[in-house]
Structure 1
């Protein structure tokens, strides 16, 4: 069996642990003022600060969690500062945005035309008949979710000479940067460089923390103003981030 000479890995806004994601998402919502102090503190007390394993008999917790869920549903979770799109059709493939303000989904429409073009598929060597209709987020795949956490993999990586880059758009309420910080803290690495700004064209592009367990090194950074899939929102900053990291340069 051929081995891969793996030198490092990069993850963007990653789902790493299901329970952590649920709990830290609510903490993030409070940090960015989507939840008031009163709602947040009441919910923590009612749910014993555990929103991932709610007791079905805990009425107060269920009410708090339902209220938070409604608040979250009212905003655009991939980027909380952008407009929440309103659609003509509820169908996921053919939905057409009708938001009065600019709706990011409008940019995705051309990708459907491009990816479903026969000549494009031929150029990409897609075997004829393997794809009936390309969709941007294929939610029809049949599988059973069996891995709720991948933290153990990162713990194993931390015993090697790998380098890791973990980045998160700081406006993402789906998989927040608070989520990533929590599971990284569970790796019990030493902090080599604390939360510092890094710059692109003289402007703050994000905030970076370096973690170390020699020879393993993990770089975590936020992308200022970025959402879920941060390069989509901040391509210039993310290109600079990747370029510097690959060249072993400080962000």
Structure 2
């Protein structure tokens, strides 16, 4: 998305060896490059890079943050209402139950995807193409690590003759799709995401 220069990208790849989060403190060259990277993206709202990242001292910013928080709370309430429908839930479902104790850390979901696809389950994996928290290229990487053959080549998927994103289909009933101008969650492009899901769940081509 032209957020950093090609030169910085290549230098970081070369110096950091793909590790940009927990960097060896002795790798001073990588640390300096990460500082340059941070300068380039510090003003970007990571969930949706098209949205402004506001100044916390501004009253308008406070209103924007409050609106986002209220919307997130409303979505959480709706998801709990839906998930606890008495026709399909065993026990009470709670979103982000922080008090839940766990003694197992799932380091990778890839084995679970493999198991589900081997058992014949269809899967739809999608990414907003303007999400910096989970960029679509990272999603593509782990899908490719499954080594499934491509059934349907990379192509645009359309809504009313407009490109809504891009998609490809792999063996084992796995579909990957991007949502154009989409962010980290469905609500940034609700219409497009709804149509995407409706087509997929009904078995139509995207």
TM range (shorter): 0.7 to 0.9
Change over 3 Å in CA distance of 1:169–1:115 after alignment to 2: closer
Match for residue 135 of structure 2? 176
Match for residue 246 of structure 1? 201
Give structure 2 stretches of 5+ with no counterpart. 86-94
CA-to-aligned-CA distance 1:8-58 (integer Å, 9 cap, x gap): xxxxxxxxxxxxxxxxxxxxxxxx111101111111111123335532211
- Deviation, 1:140, is 6.2
Residue 44 of structure 2 is aligned to residue 75 of structure 1? yes
Alignment of 1:54-69 (within 5 A): 54-69=23-38
Q: Provide the rounded CA distance (Å) in 2 between the counterparts of 1:67 and 1:158.
A: 41
8 Å CA contact retained: 1:97, 1:105: no
User: How many residues in Structure 1 have an aligned counterpart in Structure 2?
Assistant: 193
Q: What TM-score, normalized to structure 1?
A: 0.66
Match for residue 203 of structure 1? 162
Match for residue 98 of structure 1? 60
Q: Provide the rounded CA distance (Å) in 1 between the counterparts of 2:99 and 2:46.
A: 23
State the superposition RMSD in angstroms: 3.3
Name which structure has the greater RCO, CA cutoff 8 Å, separation 6+. Answer: 1
Alignment of 1:209-224 (within 5 A): 209-212=168-171, 216-224=172-180
- Deviation, 1:60, is 0.8
Alignment of 1:1-40 (within 5 A): 32-40=1-9
Secondary structure of the equivalent of 1:241?
helix
Q: Provide the rounded CA distance (Å) in 2 between the counterparts of 1:114 and 1:176.
A: 23
Q: Provide the rounded CA distance (Å) in 2 between the counterparts of 1:77 and 1:39.
A: 19
Change over 3 Å in CA distance of 1:234–1:104 after alignment to 2: farther
Q: What TM-score, normalized to structure 2?
A: 0.79
8 Å CA contact retained: 1:85, 1:105: no
Residue 195 of structure 2 is aligned to residue 236 of structure 1? no
Change over 3 Å in CA distance of 1:76–1:60 after alignment to 2: same
Residue 108 of structure 2 is aligned to residue 160 of structure 1? no
Q: Provide the rounded CA distance (Å) in 1 between the counterparts of 2:122 and 2:152.
A: 15
Match for residue 190 of structure 1? 149
8 Å CA contact retained: 1:168, 1:222: yes
Give structure 1 stretches of 5+ with no counterpart. 1-31, 89-95, 126-136
Match for residue 227 of structure 1? 183
- Deviation, 1:248, is 0.5
Secondary structure of the equivalent of 2:118?
coil
